[in-house]
């Protein structure tokens, strides 16, 4: 058996028709394929995203997507390999192929000098724990929209020209976090592309709003309005300064409109403090997990896994 990179067209032909019921969401097959190929052809995709398969001769036994990201921790940069869409065709399941495939990946990543591997488990986190992964804080928060300040503000929909302002708001919050996933220009392009795709949500209507201050962005929120859940689902938010932070509750309430709840992943440090207490619970899916591949990553993992009132990442970092 060997681990082999799969070219994007071959992945679209051989894997996507089998995995669409798991990850296509509300997209039809043509759109699912087109958006997957668009990510592979993007600047981020060409540099930091690949698809791999475990082969026995010409037979594809299992597959996954590999993403590359970097974490900042204590003035250090830790190189990471992200694992997504782990898939084994039904007639090959139960034979240990996925375990063998991921073990090969971890060995290769360690030899290549990567510091850690990470993924988001939707089912059976114990399967990944047996491979050396640790569960990290993965919680969700729910707020009643009517508990947020009802201040009259003028909001606008996010436009392409606003992304530089969004990035500035995001960067201003990074310094106060104990650790964070870095966002290069290519990573931001990837996030913009996935936001446009709307592929992270199986329900709702994209509702990304900004609060302008002259020509600059004072605050932003990314998410979807989901009337079927009576909720606005937050993906991420950010503010430029304390004045904007005071208006964030009003921005979130404007995003919710007449919906009763505001929900989402528990935000990281620096953003969690801007929300009321709310109802917090452990997520049942997208459990953030990481495996150290270097000595420094073992120390980072101890920090990341320690009890905290905030989580480590935004849902926009999900793969």
Indicate whether 5 pLDDT > 90.
yes
pLDDT (average), residues 4-20: 97
Both 145 and 278 in a single domain? yes
Q: For position 225, what pLDDT does the model report?
A: 97
Predicted structure pTM score:
0.95
Both 242 and 127 in a single domain? no
Q: How far apart are CA 182 and CA 176, in angstroms?
A: 14
Both 15 and 101 in a single domain? yes
Both 102 and 149 in a single domain? no
Both 144 and 278 in a single domain? yes
Both 90 and 46 in a single domain? yes
| Domain enclosing residue 261, as ranges | 140-282
Both 21 and 119 in a single domain? yes
Both 129 and 63 in a single domain? yes
Half-sphere exposure of 163 (CA within 13 A, CB side): 14
Both 276 and 165 in a single domain? yes
Indicate whether 175 pLDDT > 80.
no
pLDDT digits (tens, 9 = 90+) for 38-57: 999 999 999 999 999 999 99
**Read out DSSP for the chain?**
-EEEEE-HHHHHHHTHHHHHHHH-TT--HHHHHHHHHHHHHSHHHHHHEEEEEEEETTEEEEEEEEEEEEEEETTEEEEEEEEEEEE--GGGTTSSHHHHHHHHHHHHHHHTT--EEEEEESS-HHHHHTTT-EE---EEEEEEGGGS-------EE--GGGHHHHHHHHHHHHTTSSEEE---HHHHHHHHHHHHHTTT-SSSEE--EEEEETTEEEEEEEEEEEGGGTEEEEEEEEESSHHHHHHHHHHHHHHHTT-SEEEEEPPBTTTGGGS---EEEE-SSSEEEEEE-SHHHHHHHHHHHS--SSBS--GGG--
Which of 8-17, 149-158, 159-168 bottoms out in mean pLDDT, i.e. has the lowest?
A: 149-158
Confidence band, pLDDT 50/70/90 cuts, at residue 11:
very high
Count: domains in the chain: 2
Both 269 and 288 in a single domain? no
Both 153 and 266 in a single domain? yes
Both 155 and 187 in a single domain? yes
CATH number at residue 43: 3.40.630.30
Mean pLDDT of the chain: 96
pLDDT digits (tens, 9 = 90+) for 202-255: 889 999 999 999 999 999 999 999 999 999 999 999 999 999 999 999 999 999
Q: For position 199, what pLDDT does the model report?
A: 85
Q: For position 203, what pLDDT does the model report?
A: 86
Give me the percent of the chain exceeding a pLDDT of 90. 92
């Amino acid at each position: 058996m060997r681990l082999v990179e799969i070219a994007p067209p071959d992945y679209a032909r051989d894997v996507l028709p089998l995995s669409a019921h798991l990850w296509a969401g509300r997209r039809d097959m043509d759109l699912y394929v087109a958006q997957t190929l668009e990510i592979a052809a993007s600047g981020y995709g060409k540099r930091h995203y690949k698809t791999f398969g475990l082969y026995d001769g010409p037979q594809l036994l299992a597959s996954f997507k590999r993403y590359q990201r970097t974490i900042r921790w204590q003035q250090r940069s830790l190189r990471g390999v992200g694992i997504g869409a782990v898939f084994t065709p039904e007639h090959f399941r139960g034979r240990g192929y996925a375990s063998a495939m991921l073990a090969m990946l971890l060995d290769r990543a360690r030899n290549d000098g990567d510091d850690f591997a990470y993924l988001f488990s939707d089912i059976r986190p114990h399967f990944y724990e047996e491979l050396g992964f640790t569960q990290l804080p993965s919680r969700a928060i729910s707020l009643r929209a009517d508990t947020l300040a009802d201040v009259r503000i003028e909001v606008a929909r996010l436009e392409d020209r606003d992304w530089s302002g969004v990035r500035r708001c995001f960067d201003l919050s990074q310094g106060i976090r104990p650790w964070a996933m870095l966002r290069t220009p290519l990573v931001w392009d990837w996030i913009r592309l996935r936001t446009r795709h709307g592929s992270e949500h199986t329900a709702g209507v994209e509702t990304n709003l900004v609060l302008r201050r002259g020509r600059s962005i004072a605050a932003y929120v990314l998410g979807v309005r989901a009337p079927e859940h009576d909720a606005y689902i937050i993906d991420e938010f950010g503010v430029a300064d304390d004045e904007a932070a005071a208006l964030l509750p009003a921005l979130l309430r404007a995003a919710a409109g007449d919906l009763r709840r505001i929900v989402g992943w528990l935000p990281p440090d620096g953003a969690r403090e801007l929300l009321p207490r709310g109802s917090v619970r452990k997520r049942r899916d997208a459990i953030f997990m990481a495996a150290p591949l270097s000595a420094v990553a073992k120390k980072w993992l101890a920090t990341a896994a320690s009890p905290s009132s905030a989580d480590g990442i935004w849902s926009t970092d999900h793969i």
